[in-house]
Structure 1
Amino acid sequence: MMNPRYAIWWLATAHFMNDFFSGTLGIILAAQNDQIGLSNTQIGTASAIFLTVSIIQPFLGWVSDKYQVPHFMILGSSITALGLLVVGLAQSYTLILIGVLLGGFGNAMFHPTGLASARALGGPMRKGRSVALFMLGGNGGFAIGPFLSGFALASFGPKGIAPFVLLNLIIVPILFWRLQTNLRDTLNNISSQSKAKHNQHTSSNTRSKWYQTTTMMIAVYLIVVLLRGVIYQALSTFLPKYYTDYGNNLDFAGAATFALLFCSALGGFIATSLSDRLPRLPIVSVSLFLIAPLGWLLLAANGWWIFALSVPFGLTIGAQWPILLMIGQEVLPGGASGSSGLAFGWGFIANAGGTFVAGLLADWIGLRETLQVVSLLPMLGAFLVFLLPAESPNENPTITLKTSYEPQESTS
């Protein structure tokens, strides 16, 4: 069995390979706009469908908890890649929708088991850093996807995504072959500890206390994730088109989107690593509050100023998401993979709804004005976040392993 400290890097690489294709969706749709013509509403709808499929993530997480199926991650990553290939080769909007539906299903298969495994590999004292590395892999792939594919699509059109799909189908099975022992042992450990925790918390008093104290936290959590997700997904979906609308080519659009998303990945890694040692809620709050002013500056920039401002804005907009996922594992019901599925699923659904509305609004008032409006939403979340659990994850190691049939006792 591989040392867990090395295994998390392999798992992060698998996350990179999956989210590489999630990140290419916006740039592929921008390229298809040149080929078959797409409105902002159509682009927003396609992106929303890709994300809305994530509504099945809690169910897939429950299946993973019950039957311990790490193969979900292999199949999920490959299906995501094939779905985006369909989007790139599509000659009609109907085929584009079929492709995003397929890609969204693969994406939903990968994430619940991936996040639960990443947190378990970190152990009780390094779970923040472990999740940070896992998310760095995914966010890094999400960032590099539009950068590399931008050059390929500029040269070969939407079908330029095909070589990247082939690489995924070759590399991902090798990664999971290397990880198979670690993943099997990790899922067995999650299952056994979850059952032990279930036996410790069976009294009606425990159930009553959990429901009384956690219902509000769940509602607040869902609102904060919604407010944050709208601007993040709207930017990753519409920035390529925004830049091309203002006279830039696909090469520039891909590079500029990469700069922002890469810094977003770095911001998530730094912030989540710090959350092992510093209070996590102030980190989330400050980063949410800064999204609006930095976003307005970025949208007003031209030329190389776009790249310069993408650094602080990317660091800011990516800082809170991995921490919010960890909080979601604590406040949402379900087993380790089940609660991960709920956290990821709601995040993707929030992104989907926001992107759909942003597409409609952009056709009405303009794309720049729409992005300016939605960038203001996270400021409300900056204040609401203090209603969530404030403790460091290291203060209660058992908090990571919840069963799918027993709610966790609140520690707030």
Structure 2
Amino acid sequence: MTDTGAPRTLEPPAPAAPHTPSPWRRMRLWGIAHAVDDLYQGLVPASVPYFVLDRHYGYVAASGLTLAATLGSSVPQPFIGIAVDRLRAGWLAGAGVAVAGVALGLSGLVPSYPAVWCLLLLSGLGVAMFHPAAGKAAREAAGDSAAAMSVFAAGGSVGFFLAPVLATPALIAWGVGATALFVPPAVLTAYVLLRRHRRQGPPAAARSARTGRDRWRPFGVLTAVEVIRSIVFFGMNTFVELYWIRHLHASRTLAGAALTCFLAGGVAGTLLGGRIADRIGLVRTVRLGSALAVPALAGLLLVPGSTAPLLFAVLTGLTLNLPFAVLVKLGQDYLPTRPGTAAGVTLGLAVSVGGLFTPLLGRVAEAHGPQGVLTVLCFVPPLALLLALLLPEPGRS
């Protein structure tokens, strides 16, 4: 081959394809903050059995503690979401973590039931302050990736998971006063979030404004699905330890392990649900989780012994949380111009409203024991499945 002597023109190298950070790198701050915030929500049901055992509260009084935290976190959520969308009050995320942690930490130190109840109400209010602001910021970081959004949502599941893991040994050793040990994480997380907000400022959120048509009817159906899911979640959270102690006659340690298994399954289900949704669609994932929750709950009740049912505790948590991140993202897709409001409802109001039913479940426990509560919960997920059949995909009219 001969050289023609013609000058050669060197082509510039093609620009490298932009690197997309992994879901974890994009969402780690908000995932960790969500874990810390929901740690305090998870500490309420984790500590309720010890208020029953150490202070001799009845089932209804114990359910009232869950109700207090639920009222604080549920009722203000829509109003806080509106404030986040209209006033860009991003600082509420950091302030909410601080209020949730400090109030919860003090609840085990005060002697009277009314004081405990009020502090748990205030802790719930802190949770309500966090979710809309954090949910809006997390969606801006996640974009349209359900897997990325699942990292943020899984942070909440991690917080619930860590609550009994960290609290059970401390509560067994020192009683309910050990709640004071959990104040420092709230203060540190609040400092990081408030410092970030001062540095970034409101204009960053304004640049990420979304447009589109809000679809309130499917959003209402989705909210009902989330409420039904949260009834089962709160019922399990509140009574699964007492089921192991009072019905299966297991030790407190094994009962704590049962709650831990349930919440560990919830973490796995939240992360798995986001990846499944990216493959098969958001609505199908919601239906899948609702359908699979029924056999998981039935297995928990029917398998004999006190160790073998731990597997079904994991499966129950997994199936219940399979739609969790999906519901959050789907709600923001239905309300594209109101991401803070959507997050406040799906992460806060709808989830917390499930706790409002715990006093009714407490009545069932008074009459039929904790096993009666779990039996009732077996009949709840089919309602979520029926409603999920009415949900349209977000891109379809």
CA deviation after TM superposition for structure 1 residue 181, in Å: 4.5
Check 1:334–1:240 CA distance in 2 against 1; reply closer, same or farther (3 A cut): farther
User: Equivalent residue for 1:315?
Assistant: 318
Structure 2 matches for 1:336-351, cutoff 5 A?
Answer: 336-351=339-354
Residue 61 of structure 2, aligned match among 42, 46, 57 = 42
Deviations 1:209-234 (A, max 9, x none): x7xxx454244223322222211111
Report the Cα distance in structure 1 between the residues aligned to 2:258 and 2:121, rounded to whole angstroms: 27
User: Equivalent residue for 1:189?
Assistant: 207
Check 1:61–1:216 CA distance in 2 against 1; reply closer, same or farther (3 A cut): closer
Structure 2 matches for 1:11-410, cutoff 5 A?
Answer: 11-53=30-72, 54-124=74-144, 126=145, 128-174=146-192, 176-177=194-195, 181=199, 184=202, 186-190=204-208, 193-194=209-210, 197=211, 214=215, 216-246=217-247, 247-301=249-303, 302-331=305-334, 335-391=338-394
Report the Cα distance in structure 1 between the residues aligned to 2:392 and 2:75, rounded to whole angstroms: 25
Structure with the greater alpha carbon radius of gyration: 2
Deviations 1:171-205 (A, max 9, x none): 44135535765674642223xx34xx38xx7xxxx
Check 1:170–1:250 CA distance in 2 against 1; reply closer, same or farther (3 A cut): farther
SS of alignment partner, residue 333 of structure 2? helix
Report the Cα distance in structure 1 between the residues aligned to 2:71 and 2:111, rounded to whole angstroms: 23
Report the Cα distance in structure 2 between the residues aligned to 1:312 and 1:349, rounded to whole angstroms: 22
SS of alignment partner, residue 308 of structure 2? helix
Report the Cα distance in structure 1 between the residues aligned to 2:148 and 2:204, rounded to whole angstroms: 14
Report the Cα distance in structure 2 between the residues aligned to 1:288 and 1:381, rounded to whole angstroms: 6
Check 1:166–1:216 CA distance in 2 against 1; reply closer, same or farther (3 A cut): closer
Report the Cα distance in structure 1 between the residues aligned to 2:147 and 2:58, rounded to whole angstroms: 41
* Aligned-partner residue type, residue 270 of structure 1: L
CA deviation after TM superposition for structure 1 residue 89, in Å: 1.7
Report the Cα distance in structure 2 between the residues aligned to 1:333 and 1:279, rounded to whole angstroms: 18
Report the Cα distance in structure 1 between the residues aligned to 2:293 and 2:274, rounded to whole angstroms: 18
Between stretches 177-186 and 227-236, larger displacement belongs to: 177-186
Report the Cα distance in structure 2 between the residues aligned to 1:249 and 1:92, rounded to whole angstroms: 28
Report the Cα distance in structure 2 between the residues aligned to 1:349 and 1:171, rounded to whole angstroms: 22
* Aligned-partner residue type, residue 301 of structure 2: L
* Aligned-partner residue type, residue 299 of structure 2: L
CA deviation after TM superposition for structure 1 residue 254, in Å: 2.2
Per the normalisation by structure 2, the TM-score is: 0.86
Per the normalisation by structure 1, the TM-score is: 0.83
Report the Cα distance in structure 1 between the residues aligned to 2:201 and 2:363, rounded to whole angstroms: 43
Check 1:314–1:88 CA distance in 2 against 1; reply closer, same or farther (3 A cut): same
The answer on whether the counterparts of 2:106 and 2:179 sit within 8 Å (CA) in structure 1 is: no
The count of aligned residue pairs is 373
Between stretches 110-119 and 222-231, larger displacement belongs to: 222-231
Report the Cα distance in structure 1 between the residues aligned to 2:337 and 2:349, rounded to whole angstroms: 14
Report the Cα distance in structure 2 between the residues aligned to 1:353 and 1:164, rounded to whole angstroms: 25
The answer on whether the counterparts of 1:83 and 1:102 sit within 8 Å (CA) in structure 2 is: yes
Between stretches 285-294 and 245-254, larger displacement belongs to: 245-254
The answer on whether the counterparts of 1:64 and 1:113 sit within 8 Å (CA) in structure 2 is: yes
Q: Percent identity?
A: 23
The answer on whether the counterparts of 1:332 and 1:342 sit within 8 Å (CA) in structure 2 is: no
The structure whose residues are more often helix, as a share, is 1
